[in-house]
Amino acid sequence: MEIPTFACNTLSQIHLNITKTPHRHPLKPLHLQTFTPIKLSLHQTHRVTTDDGSEGQKFKWVEIGPNITQPQNQEISKLPFKMSKRCKALMKQIICFNPSQKSQSESELWGLLDAWVKVMKPRRADWLVVLKEMSKSEHPLLFEVIKFAFLEESFEANTRDYTKLIDNYAKKNQLQGAENIVQDMKIRGFTCDQVTLTVLIHMYSKAGNLNRAEETFEEIKLLGLPLDKRSYGSMIMAYIRAGMNERGESVLREMEAQEMYAGTEIYKALLRAYSTAGDINGAQRVFDSIQFAGIAPDTRICALLMNAYMVAGDSEGVRSVFVNLRSAGLEPNDKCVTIMLSVYEKENKLNMALELLMDLERDGIMVGEEASEVLAKWFRRLGVVKEVELVLREYANREYSEPAL
């Protein structure tokens, strides 16, 4: 008589501020990005006397010559065919940029960009094309070019541009750079709107700076600006990361009172925090809120609730959640099965564990890797590997000997 696949295999499975321009923009400098110098002179320079009697550098635009390296030529060949000659001319210069000294790299780059502006007279669209191409290739001079562009009238910088720049700094976890850009915004007469402040909350939240996140969150309220799902969500995550689950839940309730509901991942994060702490009441409240928000619980959400009961030592609660998820027509994942087996192991209920395994086999649900490891350790500890195999065979024979209805 054939033994079910599960019965034969169960044991084997259990295995980006703005720098100060020397001639016109008194703004604070940033640290330079590093880059690899290349051997090529891109522009000619000579000393000139300005109207105020001081000396400065004058840069003459020089087209790229034939003496470029193979890697440079390959990068140039990758430039979009439809890119305008104006933009392509600057991209070639940037690709082949070679400062005479590292300490002069910023002034020489800005001299190059200044020459391009005077000769080519770019519009905002041209700047955006260049910046997009540099961003796509992750060019190390991207932030330096952006800093220059933000000072140029032709770029027509607006609040949203600053917000995107702050967000780029935030994604690189460069908080000081982002804060410098905020200060530059204010110096140039721009105000931080709700979107900009939300980006800052998200940045501080990810960095674990709860105080600054709270200050920015309160600033939005004091300015009378509307709070959206991302603002609330970022603040909730800040409290979760700080281990202040109840404060995070309080913000969640504030959202719900306005008939605004967080995204699934925010609910899961709060549920996970309560689950890890074994806080049954908190976990159950969040689980109920998930359903109230119109989100259908999946097996991952159910597994988090089961884990909360397991950590709290409430085995009946674990079983109740498991039965409910099966009754709802959900297929338990490996984590759900693992939690159930862990509960049975703790209670030394081997027969109930075997019955669970046979029920899963009958429904076509295979035991996953994590659950198999729990079984293997349990069986080895008991020294009953052979006995379990016999029991599984008996269960299998009983299943196959019962007449079909």
Q: What tokens were used for 198? A: 């939300």
In this structure, the strands spanning 43-49 and 55-61 are antiparallel
Helices 315-327/334-346 angle, 10° precision: 150
pTM value surpassing 0.85: no
Q: What's residue 262's pLDDT?
A: 93
Q: What's residue 111's pLDDT?
A: 87
CA–CA distance, 288 with 308 (Å, rounded to integer): 14
Residue labelled with tokens 């060019």: 139
3-class DSSP state of 308: helix
3-class DSSP state of 404: coil
Look at the chain and count its residues.
405
Question: Do residues 112 and 97 touch, judged by C-beta distance below 8 A?
Answer: yes
Question: Do residues 275 and 308 touch, judged by C-beta distance below 8 A?
Answer: yes
Q: What's residue 389's pLDDT?
A: 66
Question: Do residues 58 and 48 touch, judged by C-beta distance below 8 A?
Answer: yes
Question: Do residues 341 and 371 touch, judged by C-beta distance below 8 A?
Answer: yes
- Name the residue among 90, 91, 112 with its Cα closest to residue 100: 112
CA geometry: angle 52, 54, 56, nearest 5 deg: 120
Q: What's residue 99's pLDDT?
A: 67
pLDDT tens per residue, the chain (405 residues)?
444 444 444 434 444 333 333 444 443 433 333 333 333 333 444 333 333 444 445 556 666 767 788 888 888 899 999 999 999 999 999 988 876 556 557 788 888 899 999 999 999 999 999 999 998 888 888 888 988 998 899 999 999 999 999 998 898 888 998 999 999 898 888 999 999 999 999 999 999 999 999 999 999 999 999 999 999 999 999 999 999 999 999 999 999 999 999 999 999 999 999 999 999 999 999 999 999 999 999 999 999 999 999 999 999 999 999 999 999 999 999 999 999 999 999 999 988 998 998 899 888 888 888 888 888 888 888 776 666 666 556 555 655 555 444
**Identity of residue 379:** F
CA–CA distance, 96 with 389 (Å, rounded to integer): 70
DSSP per residue, 64-77: --S---HHHHHHHH
- Name the residue among 143, 132, 69, 154 with its Cα closest to residue 105: 143
- Name the residue among 219, 243, 242 with its Cα closest to residue 231: 219
Sorted by sequence, the CB contacts under 8 Å of residue 120 that are 6+ apart come out as 86, 89, 90, 126
